[in-house]
Chain A
């Protein structure tokens, strides 16, 4: 009478080392002693998955939401910047400032979590989630930027240089 293996693996992955055995043990005890006898095997497995989903969401929602917001700000920034100056080349100093700001935000968030929880591993995990969410949203905005402004930015020097290098490469498709 064991809970779904994948859910248990995920649960142990998101829990801190301090809580890994105690929390998974509590859920296993409840699953075996109460839920399976009362609801049957299939419903008990659904119950277990639901509990794990709740714990996973609670452990990850803050960095994910923060990452989505940060990605939206950065992505919105490049969309507005492209709308205002569609033919301006990327400025190295400005890009460096952007990267410094992003890395600073990730580091500050991780440091705040480490200070609050006193758990280094949790802070690293939160920083990774924050970074992944930021980059995901930022890349969606970058793709949207190309789709929306493609007719205009085709005249940009860096775009023409990119297309020129592609044509000179001998490849006939980007899938190669």
Chain B
């Protein structure tokens, strides 16, 4: 049985599936942060994204490699993340679980203007 992902974990994984940020199709920390903020529609603490990336990597849902950094970042390297098949499966399972949960419910819900 696939592991259930929280909303934040889903946002981070989706940022790696289909990034659409002003930074382009990048999969490093800062770009993921911007993509997650875009998807959730609010400002997000950088620490929350790094903690989630760390956890997802430990679970084998994503992998990472280092790349050279620009002078803008003081020459410090970038860690690029890639989603792994396990991560894709977990995302699929989360989507299917949400679909099952919402099956038969018509939107907008009564009482919501």
Contact = CB atoms under 8 A, between A and B. Distances in A.
B74 A28 contact: yes
The dominant DSSP class at the B interface is: helix
Contacts of B29: 22-23, 26
Interface string B14-44: 0000000000000011100100000000000
Contacts of A55: 46-47, 50
A28 to B, nearest CB: 5
- Interface residue range, chain A: 20 to 34
Given A54-B46, A57-B47, A26 B77 contact: no
Which 5 interchain pairs have the tightest Cβ spacing? A25-B76, A55-B47, A54-B47, A25-B73, A22-B79
12 contacts: A22-B66, A22-B77, A23-B29, A24-B76, A25-B74, A25-B77, A28-B72, A30-B33, A51-B46, A54-B47, A54-B48, A58-B48
Interface of B: 28-30, 33, 45-48, 50-51, 54, 58, 66, 69-70, 72-74, 76-79
